Amino acid sequence: MSELLLVDRRWIERGVERSSTKRFVLWLAPWFAMLALGIYAAGLCLYYGLNQTNMDNRFAFGMWIFLDLAIIAMGAGAFFTGFLVYILKQADLKPILNSAVVLGFICYSGAVAVLMVDVGQPLRAWFTFWYPNTHSMLTEVTFCITCYLCVLILEYIPVLLRNRQLRKVPSFLVFEHQLHKLVPVLAGVGAFLSFFHQGSLGGLYGVLRGRPFVYRQGFAIWPSTFFLFILSAIAVGPSFLILVTATAEKLTGQKLVQPGVLRKLGLISGILLAAYVAAKAVDTLVWLNITSPSLGFGPRDFYSYWPLSSTFLFAATVPLGLFPALLLIMPKTAGKRGWLILGASLACAGVLLNRFVFTVQTLALPTLPFDDFLQYFPSWQEVATFGGVIAYGVLVYSLSYRYLPLFNPPKGADTNVSVD
């Protein structure tokens, strides 16, 4: 036991305060258990097939697609912060950048892992690269997510190699130094890829002519949802960063970043959220009055089924859209930590609700005139796999926080090393 304590201490950066090894292990234990259950459930789905889920021919997408869309939107903080720091030169956001990269890595790797379980023939995943259908939004999503995950891995490695023990290895230092030179380029590439696939996730639904609830007209080959998903993702990404940082500060009892950083993230999030709500309102009006009537569907076809009624549309637009945008923008509220966190939480909840509506409500609604409104409840295997991804995220972030310079680089070290 004493050896374990010693090893643990050796890997923690000098001069930083971390909880005791025992406390840390106790914190990790339930998350490891949750991850183990998730891996077991995912294993059942891979071995026995997707009959282990409660998806069916009508609810062909379920909880996992919601998870993918949700965590990828939350992970937008990674590419967007990189974009702000390196492209728009917002240097004051640098202290949060490493944390954003780790969060992005968690979200994207988690999403890819779940996608591998979610397809019926995971071993054929390479077919998409070998026989790509360039007209499919899913091809665009697959290419961009795969490439961006590689970018995130390359961005994560320099952070990883800043560990106290790892940086003692000379070749690691050289490698980190060389990678470090690439980071601004990676941030640019990552921003491009991520902008595109956040959009193509929206396009995934917007192109579905056979689903008038989500079908949208747009610009050139892109439906309006392409642009709305980009806007909502970059609006909520900074909010998610605020939430994670505030949670980490609460759990560790340490002040990790200056309040000004969170305040600035909140302002960016609020302005983008307000723009998103305005764009979404216009889009909804065009859709309800022009697009869907031209396909033979009206508002009654979409909003007369409890509980997935127009309440969701209102909730995502006003209490979880406009209201948090105002909270994050107005100096009076945004200057107070409680209001800032509330605003960020509501913003995240709004985008989660939006993704839920796109993934679940779309499939619940009937299209054929003699069809039924459908219900779907995920199986325990789906829930456990979902939980496994959450646990994986908490574990990676916890381990990264303990052993890597996420917020507070070592004293005396060049604080810009891992982010410049």
Partner 1 sequence: MSARYGMVIDLDRCTGCGSCMVACAAENNVPPAAPRATTRTGLTPMLVHKVSNGAEGAAKREVFIPVTCMHCANETPCVSVCPQQAVEVDKATGIVMQMPQRCLGCRYCMVACPYHARYFNWWDPAWPAGMEKSLNPGVAVRMRGVVEKCNLCHARLHSAMEKAAAAGKKEIDLADYVPACVEACPTGAILFGNLADKDDAIYSAAHSPDAFRLLARLGTEPKVYYKSGQAWVKGLAERDSEHAKESKHV
Q: Which residues bind partner 1 (CB under 8 A)?
A: 49-51, 55-61, 118-121, 124-125, 127-128, 130-133, 135-139, 142, 204, 207-212, 294-297, 301, 362-363, 367-372
Would you state the structure tokens that stand for residue 280, as one six-digit string? 């979404």
> Least distance (Å) from partner 1 to the CB of residue 360?
12
> Least distance (Å) from partner 1 to the CB of residue 68?
12
Cα–Cα distance, 356 to 312 (Å, whole number):
10
Report the amino acid identity of residue 110: G
On whether the CB atoms of residues 76 and 237 are closer than 8 A, the answer is yes
> Least distance (Å) from partner 1 to the CB of residue 290?
14
Q: Which one, 44 or 97, has the nearer CB to partner 1?
A: 44
Q: Which one, 58 or 177, has the nearer CB to partner 1?
A: 58
Q: Which one, 8 or 301, has the nearer CB to partner 1?
A: 301
How buried is 186 (Cβ within 10 angstroms: 0-12 exposed, 13-18 middle, 19+ buried)?
A: buried
> Least distance (Å) from partner 1 to the CB of residue 289?
16
Would you state the structure tokens that stand for residue 335, as one six-digit string? 């200057």
Q: Which one, 141 or 391, has the nearer CB to partner 1?
A: 141
> Least distance (Å) from partner 1 to the CB of residue 211?
7
Q: Which one, 213 or 323, has the nearer CB to partner 1?
A: 213
Q: Which one, 31 or 59, has the nearer CB to partner 1?
A: 59
Cα–Cα distance, 387 to 407 (Å, whole number):
27
Cα–Cα distance, 236 to 325 (Å, whole number):
10
Q: Which one, 40 or 48, has the nearer CB to partner 1?
A: 48
Cα–Cα distance, 181 to 187 (Å, whole number):
11
> Least distance (Å) from partner 1 to the CB of residue 207?
7
Tokens 């292990």 correspond to 25
Helices (H), 75-124: 76-82, 97-118
Cα–Cα distance, 345 to 331 (Å, whole number):
18
Cα–Cα distance, 256 to 250 (Å, whole number):
10
Cα–Cα distance, 366 to 118 (Å, whole number):
24
Give, to the nearest 10 degrees, the angle between helix 2-11 and helix 21-48.
Answer: 90
Cα–Cα distance, 323 to 238 (Å, whole number):
17
According to DSSP, the residues that pair with 223 across neighbouring strands are: 218
Q: Which one, 145 or 272, has the nearer CB to partner 1?
A: 145
> Least distance (Å) from partner 1 to the CB of residue 117?
11
CA distances from 382 to 329, 376, 377 (A): 38, 12, 10
Q: Which one, 61 or 83, has the nearer CB to partner 1?
A: 61
> Least distance (Å) from partner 1 to the CB of residue 128?
5
Cis bond upstream, residue 158 (ω within 30): no
Q: Which one, 306 or 370, has the nearer CB to partner 1?
A: 370
> Least distance (Å) from partner 1 to the CB of residue 149?
17
> Least distance (Å) from partner 1 to the CB of residue 129?
9
CA-nearest of 86, 82, 112 to 99 is 82
Q: Which one, 1 or 123, has the nearer CB to partner 1?
A: 123
> Least distance (Å) from partner 1 to the CB of residue 49?
5
How buried is 252 (Cβ within 10 angstroms: 0-12 exposed, 13-18 middle, 19+ buried)?
A: middle
354: CB partners within 8 A, 6+ apart: 232, 316
Cα–Cα distance, 125 to 330 (Å, whole number):
47
